[in-house]
Amino acid sequence: MRRVTLCIFVFVFMLSNIAYGQNLKLTEDYLKKQDLDHWGFLALYSAENPISGDLEKVDSELTTDFEGYLLGALVSGENVLNVVEKLAECQLESGKFSDFTDGTGEDLVNAHIWGIISLYAADYEEYDKVSALKWLKENQNKDGGFPIYAGMGTSDLDMSSMALIAYDILGLDREADEVKQTIAYIEKNLSRKESCEAYAWYILARIKLGLSIDEDLYNDLMKFRLQDGSFMHLESMKKSNYMATWHGLLALADYYRKSSIFDRLHDEVNFVDLGNDHEAYEAIMALVNEKIISGYSDNTFRPDNSVKRGEFCKFMVYGMDLQDQALLENSKFKDLKGHWANKIVNVAVDNGWIKGVTGYYFAPEGKIKGSEIAAILVRVKGLEDKASIIHGDNWYDGYVQIAEENDLLYTNFHPEGYASRVQCSEAVYKLIKN
């Protein structure tokens, strides 16, 4: 009986995946033939069909253009640190993200909403969320909807759905009064607008809020899809529309995957200062995914920062999967008392990988040099005997030679130079891989 049940489950799962693929493939194929902007890149990525190619740089002062570009750049694997910082600087004292990147303009509601959404997708938290939420609440109309321009009494369906996504990001869930009021406005007016984008945004908003999508809402969206997979802006227009198509694909991808594209981007490890074209990207991300190294709270990796001796001990202990041994504190080195890396350093010391700078001082905050790293790598590999019989002018010559012979040294290695986070990542990755 258990086998029959399992077979039925597998069969249903396969059918659902086939349906998923068939419903998206035509739209993906159509979109790929178009002149893609950042939204097209985002939609294809959301449908698990990312494309390679250069994203056109922003030539605009509109904040919304930078916000949209940030989303496309994230899925393209670009270094987005400058864009993120530029957008964060656009938040005004009122809490609103300005209309223009020079910090002026308080009229465009979408500039504020997409500032919140795009920074969330980039996993960037260093802005004033409290004042951002306050501004959003203050600009919600009495009917529950949101206007295109601040202070305008007429609400817009698309903007209202986008605001629901921003509300969720800022901590208001589906039980919040403001959220319920916005949903009520959309439900009351959705059938009156009859545009592909309106239905798409409402699906995207409901998925973000964790609400179900009923069959009628799904079918309402599909009314706009043509036989070639493209979407119409309006049913009456009977022709393909690029903007409607990427909207449709975004909504369908979220619908089938039952998760928000903005959550998926937020939860992925994508450092804003590390593009996938970086020479050490593969090594760094492999170590990050194995939780051997990590980035910083502002979603940066800071690849060029130097590494401290205590930090490198952590890289090595986690890289060798010995973190469970970090139970006892080191009482020998005076400068390790109360230090966060005390137990980690103790593992490295006990295994004979690293020594103190003197008999009683370890210097956990001291920057680590290439020569020290070479010695540690050789010791971990069990090759210290070979290094000890090589004599040179410097204490480290044997270690460097053996490390080089075993392909353990990082790019631009220098024994007297301080090692960066990129270089340390490359060294640990080579050690594990070899």
pLDDT tens, residue order, the chain (434 aa): 434 443 443 344 343 444 445 568 999 999 999 999 999 999 999 998 877 777 788 889 999 999 999 999 998 888 888 899 999 999 999 999 999 999 999 999 999 999 999 999 998 888 999 999 999 999 999 999 999 999 999 999 999 999 999 999 999 999 999 999 999 999 999 988 789 999 999 999 999 999 999 999 999 999 999 999 999 999 888 899 999 999 999 999 999 999 999 999 988 877 888 887 888 888 998 998 888 998 887 778 999 999 999 999 999 999 999 999 999 999 899 999 999 999 999 999 999 999 999 999 999 999 999 999 999 999 999 999 999 999 899 999 999 999 999 999 999 999 999 999 999 999 999 999 88
Tokens of 404: 């080089």
Gap between the Cα atoms of 217 and 205, Å rounded: 12
If you ran DSSP here, which 8-state letter would residue 325 be given?
G
Tokens of 50: 């990312």
Which of 374, 350, 379 is CA-nearest to residue 362? 350
Which of 317, 289, 256 is CA-nearest to residue 27? 256
Gap between the Cα atoms of 54 and 222, Å rounded: 31
Angle value at C-alpha 240, between 234 and 242, nearest 5 degrees = 95
How many Cβ atoms sit within 10 Å of the Cβ of residue 68? 21
Which of 109, 202, 198, 106 is CA-nearest to residue 148? 109
Gap between the Cα atoms of 375 and 389, Å rounded: 14
Are residues 405 and 397 in contact, defined by beta-carbon separation less than 8 angstroms? no
pLDDT at residue 16 in the model: 43
Following DSSP, what letter does each residue of 366-418 receive, concatenated?
Answer: SBPBHHHHHHHHHHHTT-HHHHHT---SSTTHHHHHHHHHTT-PPTT--TTSB
Are residues 350 and 320 in contact, defined by beta-carbon separation less than 8 angstroms? no
Is 4 buried (19+), middle (13-18) or exposed (0-12) by CB count in 10 A? exposed
Rg (C-alpha) for the chain, rounded Å, is 27
Which residue carries 């198509």 as its tokens? 245
The residue extents of the domains of the chain are 18-267, 304-433
The partner residues of 195 in beta bridges, in order of sequence, read 234
Which of 299, 303, 265 is CA-nearest to residue 284? 303
Q: Residue 335, SS3?
A: helix
Tokens of 325: 């041994």
Gap between the Cα atoms of 416 and 90, Å rounded: 42
Q: 173 — phi, psi (to 5°)?
A: -90, -175
How many Cβ atoms sit within 10 Å of the Cβ of residue 227? 6
Gap between the Cα atoms of 172 and 312, Å rounded: 41
Which amino acid, 60?
S
Q: How far apart are the first and last CA of the chain?
A: 47
Gap between the Cα atoms of 267 and 269, Å rounded: 7
Which amino acid, 235?
E
The partner residues of 306 in beta bridges, in order of sequence, read 420
User: At a CB cut-off of 8 Å and minimum separation 6, what does 308 contact?
Assistant: 364, 365, 366, 367, 368
Following DSSP, what letter does each residue of 88-156 receive, concatenated?
Answer: HTTB-TTSPBPSBTTS----BHHHHHHHHHHHHHTT---S-HHHHHHHHHHT--TTS-B-SBTT-SS-B
Tokens of 38: 């950042």
How many Cβ atoms sit within 10 Å of the Cβ of residue 374? 27
For 18-267, CATH gives: 1.50.10.20
Burial profile 175-191: b = 16 or more Cβ within 10 angstroms, e = fewer: eeebbebbbebbeebbe
Are residues 108 and 70 in contact, defined by beta-carbon separation less than 8 angstroms? no
The partner residues of 308 in beta bridges, in order of sequence, read 367
Are residues 292 and 319 in contact, defined by beta-carbon separation less than 8 angstroms? yes
